[in-house]
Amino acid sequence: MQPFNCAVCGQIVFFDNSTCLRCSSPLGYLRSERALVALETPEGEDDATAMITAAAMERADRPGRTYRRCANQIIARCNWLLTEDDEGELCASCRLTAVRPNDDEVDALEAFADAEQAKRRLLHQLDIIGLPVVGRDEDEERGVAFEFLSSRNQQVMTGHDGGVITLDLSESDDAHREFVRQQMGEAYRTVLGHLRHEIGHYYWPRLVVDADRVEGFRELFGDETISYQDALDQHYADGDASTSWVDSYVSEYATMHPWEDWAETFAHYLHIRAGLHTAKAYGITIGEPAVTAARETYTPDVGVDVGPTVQAWLGLTLGLNAMSRSIGEGDLYPFVLSTDVIAKLDFVHRCVTAGTEAPATDRSAARS
């Protein structure tokens, strides 16, 4: 994620900000421009509900444009704007959420806001990469919808079903998530990671089936027509504590079923793209010896499109891991990317970039 600048005072501001911390200008995120714009509230109006116009510097190139804040400004900490063309009260991100906790579930609402924040970050990245997200309201059968529910009062399974993405909001409770992470033997477990995984399931029929890539998929990920239930039972019955999966899978969970392998690889691919995008936006470059080490670790095969991306990532994470250790923390990126995993990442990369205008590079990386 790139940093932004306050259009009024130039202060560095961030994706989630709704106010400039230096000059107090109200800020809002304009999705069509992938930009945080400074706003001014007409005299005597309330920022939360009033029509707001772009502040002085912004107004020069957008004369007379007025925006509204999303009605979920408070409940979802949403800073996205609606333009005059938008119908309804909710922004494009909040509209994708079909189910949320009740108004009296205080803890769940806090977790809901965290989940919405992660979802906005996900959508921003998908916009940059050029992967369209079609909502249930536009496509009743195949569109995506999010259901954010707390498992405190009912059974909630995080997962994906025909475009509907369900997230158990207890996943945004740090202690709970850390407990589950250790139980599952995972290196990472984050709300954003969950959403990246689940949206991977949503894209599978689009990027693989619709694009006639099922053959290629099966060669790398296996036959997805095997029974999901059998695979699930097998996975839990085995309880195999060995780490032999690292040779072929990005995570242990990926061994469960070819669809899970795809979703885990897809999520990891989004992590990599996001990490590289951020590094570029902040001008973080890694020099020797990390670059050499990355080159020695992985020489891209001829014809592997994702090669340069992986090499840049390995160099960067080598440096960042060393950085993290130098302040007494563990590795920031505790993953091994085997040759098989890189081949799967390459498949995802090809699927993702096939339909987009500008593959391989992040067009907006240099934007501020």
Name the residues that contact Zn ion, by CB under 5 A: 6, 8-9, 11, 20, 22-23, 25, 70, 72, 78, 80, 91, 94, 260, 263
Cα separations in angstroms, 181 against 107, 158, 175, 353: 21, 14, 10, 31
Find the shortest distance in angstroms from Cβ 324 to Zn ion. 28
Measured from the CB atom, the residue of 254 and 314 that comes closer to Zn ion is 254
Measured from the CB atom, the residue of 198 and 362 that comes closer to Zn ion is 198
Nearest to 244 by CA among 235, 236, 252: 252
Measured from the CB atom, the residue of 16 and 305 that comes closer to Zn ion is 16
Find the shortest distance in angstroms from Cβ 340 to Zn ion. 19
Find the shortest distance in angstroms from Cβ 148 to Zn ion. 13
Measured from the CB atom, the residue of 22 and 325 that comes closer to Zn ion is 22
Using CA atoms, how far apart are residues 19 and 26, in angstroms rounded to an integer? Answer: 4
Structural contact between residues 145 and 136, judged by C-beta atoms closer than 8 angstroms: yes
Find the shortest distance in angstroms from Cβ 259 to Zn ion. 7
Find the shortest distance in angstroms from Cβ 135 to Zn ion. 13
Is the CA virtual torsion 214, 219, 225, 231 positive or negative?
A: negative
Find the shortest distance in angstroms from Cβ 198 to Zn ion. 6
Nearest to 306 by CA among 275, 261, 268, 348: 348
Measured from the CB atom, the residue of 199 and 274 that comes closer to Zn ion is 199
Query: Which residue matches tokens 């107004």?
Result: 59
Find the shortest distance in angstroms from Cβ 115 to Zn ion. 12
Find the shortest distance in angstroms from Cβ 16 to Zn ion. 12
Structural contact between residues 187 and 251, judged by C-beta atoms closer than 8 angstroms: yes
Measured from the CB atom, the residue of 23 and 232 that comes closer to Zn ion is 23
Structure tokens at 91: 């922004």
Measured from the CB atom, the residue of 20 and 310 that comes closer to Zn ion is 20
Measured from the CB atom, the residue of 231 and 322 that comes closer to Zn ion is 231
